[in-house]
């Protein structure tokens, strides 16, 4: 095989190689210098390095944790508590933000001008307000709620006080883990029925009987309702959403809701007007047209920016520190860092968590976009 | 475009009653909430006074804001030197002025950094005026200065990063992409923490920067990644033919970039860039976390004073409204720019 000799040595190519080598050498020098200075500074201040601190006992208590925790647990456990708390806030706020965003996003394109105006007012109000300040406003307003003795009663089921929102807790006969697994299985079976059933009628009949069966299971597995009761200076029973958690979830939902509304509006605007007219010509009601024609197409356009909004939400959950909710950054970048002084290790672990979150979400979106593109070609 | 653009369609006659009922309920609920809120905010509010005791129980207590107005604006900048802060903010405005001058907007890339440096020199004293350490800077002026200075230096870094991401040299491309993606994955508060505790650890002690400078540098490099994404969108929108035509006219590589590609890319990227400027301004509300006395920091101090205890809602609502006015103004201005650009594009040649 004979090819004409390709010269690797043109001036432009040489310059290219030189630039790249320069960039690598420069970066390497900066890193080596930083590492040397860091090591010297660490020696001077007598701080440890490495990840041994993860196995040591944390020695401090955490106000709220979704997984079992005690001050004797290790710093690695603190990391897990922080991750779970961050993800819990993100999931809760994501749910409410989606509801707000889709609702107001559709309202932004409503026919009634006052409805558009209302939605516009919401979007402009939330999008132009810094999130930390919104969070502080909501938190300070919650602190003005009455003390537990004068708490506002919510129809005998719950209470609002400056200690938080007290709600009834369902007692599961076989534990809440079993209940969650059961719900997941029931949902999976429902999806399976709709996939496998030959016709819509059969699917409908099967899923109604399946849901009836699940309802029976639900009734059997609930052993009781634990209502919060006032006692002394507080409440006993039920479950409590603390003021920091409430303020955080409310602020994140309101804030992200405004951005999601704009994304949904943009997606709806991208749907060809002919589609809406065709749906109307077929006799679909406006709600039906929205449900079956407009929204599915709009979501296809809106999915990538939507994903980045959810990612922003997860990152913004780090503002928890402003109101003292123990999220990953507050626990690990705050308390553990202060106690151990191991800034490099703690901060890089936090960065790693967010990097994994971000990369996996964008990976999912890319997969989804590739699938969409394949369908579009067909 | 929108559904309401077709008023002549026959379907307009049969409006959905459910939609109207839901809308009416929402509007009524909003009214029930908004009316007492406005009453509390304005009607029943107390505007001047020396302590909380001067305020009525029914309304908001703005007396704290009026009593502390100088601090809220300028922080603890020495008395008698307030003019320097005013002049410093004016320097920033002068540096950004060419933006309004459509044909010479590119000049801003040169004037704005000069304005930013002049602003910082005025604030600090630069050896000529009496020196004022950054610990005394504060108030709303500090938010504006941090926001503008970071934006001015973040934009050129962002442009360089976006060009590097589109480079044909793999090492440059990968390094720039890795930087942008890593920074965009991180929350700002983690970056501020890193600037506060990590940077002093990793640089030689004799280079030590003060708290505020570290924060400004951190915000600059944080926002540069977002600006790089905005500019990248603009760069991708420049048709390949423009480059080829410029090369065919005999322009050198850097001339193609500076005179042909970048002006078009930046024009396309303007809405996204203004959005990231607004985001940056909003982000400056977070610097109080590292102990800087910006507008939020000053008011947090004020409410811990015995005379004004328990006025957190008023303090934060005031900060929120201030930021809201600034950001809303910026976003309206950006929308007007966009409309003007669209008119210029759509105008018959």
Q: Do B172 and A287 touch (CB under 8 A)?
A: no
| Burial (CB count within 10 angstroms: exposed 0-12, middle 13-18, buried 19+), residue B224 | buried
Query: Which residue does chain A place closest to B303, by CA atoms?
Result: A140
What does the DSSP 8-state code read for residue B256?
Answer: I
Q: Determine the Cα–Cα distance for residues A287 and A306; give it in Å rounded to an integer.
A: 22
B313 in contact with chain A, both atoms CB, cutoff 8 A:
yes
Which residues, including other chains, have CB under 8 Å from residue A16's CB and lie 6 or more apart?
A: B168, B169
Q: Determine the Cα–Cα distance for residues B187 and B321; give it in Å rounded to an integer.
A: 24
Helix axis angle for A175-196 and A200-221, nearest 10°, is 170
State the sign of the Cα–Cα–Cα–Cα dihedral B207, B210, B211, B217: negative
Q: Across-strand partners of B61? A: B46
Q: Do B316 and A133 touch (CB under 8 A)?
A: yes
B247 in contact with chain A, both atoms CB, cutoff 8 A:
no
Res A354: pLDDT: 94
Residue A298 or A233, more confident: A298
Q: Do B283 and A329 touch (CB under 8 A)?
A: no
Q: Is the pLDDT of residue B7 over 50?
A: no
Let me know: does A223 contact A67? Beta carbons within 8 Å: no
Q: Determine the Cα–Cα distance for residues A259 and B344; give it in Å rounded to an integer.
A: 29
Which residues, including other chains, have CB under 8 Å from residue A20's CB and lie 6 or more apart?
A: B169, B170, B171, B172
State the sign of the Cα–Cα–Cα–Cα dihedral B220, B223, B225, B227: negative
Res A376: pLDDT: 57
B175 in contact with chain A, both atoms CB, cutoff 8 A:
yes
Give the helix ranges, DSSP H, for chain B.
17-38, 63-67, 69-74, 82-96, 108-124, 139-165, 170-185, 188-193, 199-202, 211-237, 240-248, 253-255, 262-283, 295-304, 312-346
In a domain, B15, yes or no: no
Q: Is the pLDDT of residue B132 over 70?
A: yes
Q: Is the pLDDT of residue B12 over 70?
A: no
Quote the percentage of chain A above a pLDDT of 90: 32
DSSP letter for each residue of B30-51: HHHHHHHHHIIIIIT-B---SS
Query: Which residue does chain A place closest to B179, by CA atoms?
Result: A355
In a domain, B67, yes or no: no
Query: Which residue does chain B place closest to A285, by CA atoms?
Result: B16
Q: Determine the Cα–Cα distance for residues A22 and B175; give it in Å rounded to an integer.
A: 12
| Burial (CB count within 10 angstroms: exposed 0-12, middle 13-18, buried 19+), residue A117 | middle
Partner-chain residue, chosen from A23, A27, A115, that has the shortest CB–CB distance to B23: A115
Q: Determine the Cα–Cα distance for residues A371 and A364; give it in Å rounded to an integer.
A: 11
Q: Do A136 and B312 touch (CB under 8 A)?
A: yes
Confidence bin at B348 (pLDDT 50/70/90): very low
Residue B227 or B45, more confident: B227
Q: Do B201 and A286 touch (CB under 8 A)?
A: no
B203 in contact with chain A, both atoms CB, cutoff 8 A:
yes
Based on the domain organization, do B121 and B232 belong to the same domain?
Answer: no
H or E stretch at A255: helix A243-270
Let me know: does B259 contact B242? Beta carbons within 8 Å: no
B3 contacts in A (CB within 8 Å)?
A: 109, 111, 273, 276
Average pLDDT over residues A50-67: 83
Q: Do A347 and B11 touch (CB under 8 A)?
A: no
Let me know: does B299 contact B316? Beta carbons within 8 Å: yes
Based on the domain organization, do B307 and B189 belong to the same domain?
Answer: yes
| Burial (CB count within 10 angstroms: exposed 0-12, middle 13-18, buried 19+), residue A344 | buried
In a domain, B30, yes or no: no
Q: Cα A71 vs. chain centroid, distance in angstroms? A: 27
In a domain, B346, yes or no: no
Res B10: pLDDT: 42
A133 contacts in B (CB within 8 Å)?
A: 285, 296, 316, 319-320, 323
Let me know: does B92 contact B142? Beta carbons within 8 Å: no
Instruction: Name which of A56-70, B95-109, B194-208 the model is least confident about.
Output: B95-109
pLDDT digits (tens, 9 = 90+) for A215-252: 888 888 887 777 887 777 777 777 788 899 999 999 99
pLDDT digits (tens, 9 = 90+) for A81-137: 999 999 999 999 999 999 999 999 988 988 778 788 889 999 999 999 999 999 999
3-class DSSP state for residue A165? strand
Partner-chain residue, chosen from B5, B189, B202, that has the shortest CB–CB distance to A321: B189
Q: Across-strand partners of A222? A: A172
Suggest the residue from A35, A110, A132 to mutate for an interface test with chain B (most B CBs closer than 10 A).
Answer: A132
Suggest the residue from A106, A137, A248 to mutate for an interface test with chain B (most B CBs closer than 10 A).
Answer: A137
Q: Determine the Cα–Cα distance for residues B36 and A218; give it in Å rounded to an integer.
A: 43
Which residue matches tokens 């929102």?
A165
Q: Do A132 and B320 touch (CB under 8 A)?
A: no
B285 contacts in A (CB within 8 Å)?
A: 130, 132-133
H or E stretch at A152: strand A152-154
The residues in B 68-107 lying below 8 A from A, measured between CB atoms, are none
Res A2: pLDDT: 57
In a domain, B68, yes or no: no
Res A183: pLDDT: 87
The residues in A 320-359 lying below 8 A from B, measured between CB atoms, are 321-322, 329, 333, 337, 343-344, 347, 350-351, 354-355, 357-359
Q: Determine the Cα–Cα distance for residues A183 and A180; give it in Å rounded to an integer.
A: 5
In a domain, B317, yes or no: yes
Based on the domain organization, do B215 and B276 belong to the same domain?
Answer: yes
Q: Do A112 and B20 touch (CB under 8 A)?
A: yes
Q: Where are the domains of chain A?
A: 75-148+242-377
Phi, psi of B239 (to 5 degrees): -65, 145
Based on the domain organization, do B109 and B157 belong to the same domain?
Answer: no
Q: Determine the Cα–Cα distance for residues B17 and B118; give it in Å rounded to an integer.
A: 62
A42 contacts in B (CB within 8 Å)?
A: 201
Let me know: does A365 contact A119? Beta carbons within 8 Å: no
Q: Determine the Cα–Cα distance for residues A271 and A301; give it in Å rounded to an integer.
A: 9
Supply the mean pLDDT for chain B.
85
3-class DSSP state for residue A336? helix
The number of folded domains in chain B is 2
Average pLDDT over residues A137-153: 85
- What CATH fold (topology level) applies to the domain A75-148+242-377? MetI-like fold (1.10.3720)
Q: Is the pLDDT of residue B272 over 90?
A: no
Distances from the Cα of A89 to the Cαs of A65, A92, A93, A325, in angstroms? 12, 5, 6, 10
Q: Is the pLDDT of residue B147 over 60?
A: yes
Based on the domain organization, do B232 and B103 belong to the same domain?
Answer: no
By C-alpha distance, which of B321, B1, B182, B265 is closest to A351?
Answer: B182
Phi, psi of A109 (to 5 degrees): -115, 20
Residue A224 or B4, more confident: A224
Let me know: does B19 contact A291? Beta carbons within 8 Å: no
Phi, psi of A153 (to 5 degrees): -90, 140
B21 in contact with chain A, both atoms CB, cutoff 8 A:
no
Q: Is the pLDDT of residue A165 over 90?
A: no
In a domain, B178, yes or no: yes
Supply the mean pLDDT for chain A.
86
Which residue matches tokens 């999912």?
A364
Most confident segment among A252-261, A263-272, B57-66, B113-122: A252-261
Which residues, including other chains, have CB under 8 Å from residue B250's CB and lie 6 or more apart?
A: none
The residues in B 22-41 lying below 8 A from A, measured between CB atoms, are 23, 26-27, 30
Based on the domain organization, do B169 and B239 belong to the same domain?
Answer: yes
Q: For the CA atoms of chain A, what is the radius of gyration?
A: 27
Res B346: pLDDT: 64
Structure tokens at B293: 């006395």
Q: Do A114 and B23 touch (CB under 8 A)?
A: yes
Quote the percentage of chain A above a pLDDT of 70: 96
pLDDT digits (tens, 9 = 90+) for A167-192: 888 788 887 788 888 889 999 998 88
Res B2: pLDDT: 43
Angle at B105 between CA B104 and CA B110, to 5 degrees: 95
B185 contacts in A (CB within 8 Å)?
A: 315, 351, 354-355, 357-359
What is the ipTM, given to two decimal places? 0.87
In a domain, B315, yes or no: yes
Q: Determine the Cα–Cα distance for residues B81 and B84; give it in Å rounded to an integer.
A: 6
Confidence bin at A7 (pLDDT 50/70/90): low
Which residues, including other chains, have CB under 8 Å from residue A308's CB and lie 6 or more apart?
A: none
A360 in contact with chain B, both atoms CB, cutoff 8 A:
no
Q: Do B182 and A144 touch (CB under 8 A)?
A: no
pLDDT digits (tens, 9 = 90+) for B157-180: 999 999 999 888 899 999 999 999
Res A347: pLDDT: 92
Domain hosting B93: range is 78-131
pLDDT digits (tens, 9 = 90+) for A60-71: 888 888 788 888
B333 in contact with chain A, both atoms CB, cutoff 8 A:
no
Q: Determine the Cα–Cα distance for residues A98 and A254; give it in Å rounded to an integer.
A: 10
């Amino acid at each position: 095989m004979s090819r004409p000799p390709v010269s690797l040595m043109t001036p432009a190519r040489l310059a290219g190689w030189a630039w790249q080598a320069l960039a690598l050498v420069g970066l390497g020098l900066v890193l080596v210098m930083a590492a040397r200075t860091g090591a010297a500074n660490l020696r001077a201040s007598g701080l440890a390095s490495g990840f041994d601190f993860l196995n040591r006992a944390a020695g401090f208590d955490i106000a709220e944790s979704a997984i079992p925790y005690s001050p004797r647990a290790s710093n690695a456990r603190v990391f897990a508590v922080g991750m779970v708390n961050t993800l819990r806030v993100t999931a809760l706020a994501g749910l409410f933000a989606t509801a707000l965003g889709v609702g107001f996003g559709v309202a932004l394109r409503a026919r009634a001008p006052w409805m558009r105006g209302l939605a516009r007012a919401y979007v402009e109000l939330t999008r132009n307000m810094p999130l930390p300040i919104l969070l502080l406003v909501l938190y300070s307003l919650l602190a003005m709620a009455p003390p537990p003795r004068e708490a506002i009663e919510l129809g005998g089921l719950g209470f609002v006080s400056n200690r938080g929102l007290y709600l009834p807790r369902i007692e599961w006969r076989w534990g809440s883990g079993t209940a969650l697994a059961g719900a997941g299985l029931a949902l999976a079976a429902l999806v399976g029925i709709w996939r496998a059933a030959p016709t819509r009628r059969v699917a409908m009949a099967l899923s109604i009987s399946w849901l009836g069966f699940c309802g029976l299971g639900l009734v059997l597995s609930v052993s009781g309702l634990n209502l919060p009761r006032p006692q002394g200076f507080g409440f006993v029973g039920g479950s409590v959403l603390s003021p920091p958690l409430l303020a955080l979830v409310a602020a994140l939902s309101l804030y992200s809701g405004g951005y999601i509304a704009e994304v949904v509006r943009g997606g709806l605007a991208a749907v060809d007007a002919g589609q809406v007219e065709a749906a109307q010509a077929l006799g679909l009601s406006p709600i039906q047209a929205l449900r079956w024609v407009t929204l599915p197409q709009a979501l296809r356009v809106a999915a990538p920016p939507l994903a980045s909004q959810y990612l922003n939400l997860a990152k913004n959950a780090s503002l928890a520190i402003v109101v003292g909710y123990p999220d990953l950054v507050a626990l690990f970048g705050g308390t553990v860092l202060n106690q151990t002084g191991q800034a490099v290790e703690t901060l890089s672990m936090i960065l790693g968590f967010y990097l994994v979150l971000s990369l996996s979400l964008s990976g999912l979106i890319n997969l989804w976009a590739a699938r969409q593109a394949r369908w579009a070609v067909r | 475009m929108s559904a309401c653009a077709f008023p002549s369609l026959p379907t307009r006659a049969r409006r959905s009653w459910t939609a109207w009922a839901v809308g009416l309920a929402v509007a009524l609920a909003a009214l029930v909430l908004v009316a007492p809120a406005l009453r509390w905010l304005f009607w029943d509010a107390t505007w001047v006074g020396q302590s909380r005791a001067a305020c009525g129980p029914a309304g908001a207590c703005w007396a704290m804001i009026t009593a502390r107005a100088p601090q809220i604006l300028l922080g603890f900048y020495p008395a008698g030197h307030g003019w320097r802060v005013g002049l410093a903010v004016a320097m920033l405005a002068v540096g950004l002025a060419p933006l309004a001058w459509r044909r010479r907007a590119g000049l801003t890339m040169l004037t704005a950094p000069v304005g930013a440096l002049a602003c910082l020199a005025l604030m600090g004293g630069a050896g000529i005026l009496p020196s004022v350490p950054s610990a005394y800077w504060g108030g709303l002026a500090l938010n504006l200065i941090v926001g503008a200075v970071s934006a001015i230096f973040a934009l050129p870094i962002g442009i360089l990063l976006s060009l590097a991401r589109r480079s044909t040299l793999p090492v440059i491309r990968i390094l720039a992409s890795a930087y942008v993606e890593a920074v965009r994955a991180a929350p700002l508060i983690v970056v501020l923490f890193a600037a506060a505790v990590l940077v002093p650890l990793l640089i030689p002690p004799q280079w030590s920067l003060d708290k505020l400078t570290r924060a400004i540098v951190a915000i600059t490099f944080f926002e540069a990644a977002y600006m790089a994404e905005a500019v990248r969108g603009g760069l991708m929108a420049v048709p390949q033919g423009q480059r080829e035509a410029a090369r065919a006219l005999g322009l050198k590589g850097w001339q193609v970039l500076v005179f042909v590609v970048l002006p078009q890319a930046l024009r396309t990227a303007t809405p996204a860039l203004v959005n990231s400027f607004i985001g940056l301004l909003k982000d400056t509300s977070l610097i109080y976390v590292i102990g800087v006395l910006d507008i939020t920091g000053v008011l947090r101090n004020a409410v811990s004073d015995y005379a004004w205890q328990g006025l957190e809602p008023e303090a934060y609502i005031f900060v929120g409204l201030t930021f809201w006015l600034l950001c809303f103004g910026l976003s309206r201005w950006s929308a007007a720019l966009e409309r003007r650009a669209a008119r210029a594009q759509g105008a018959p040649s």
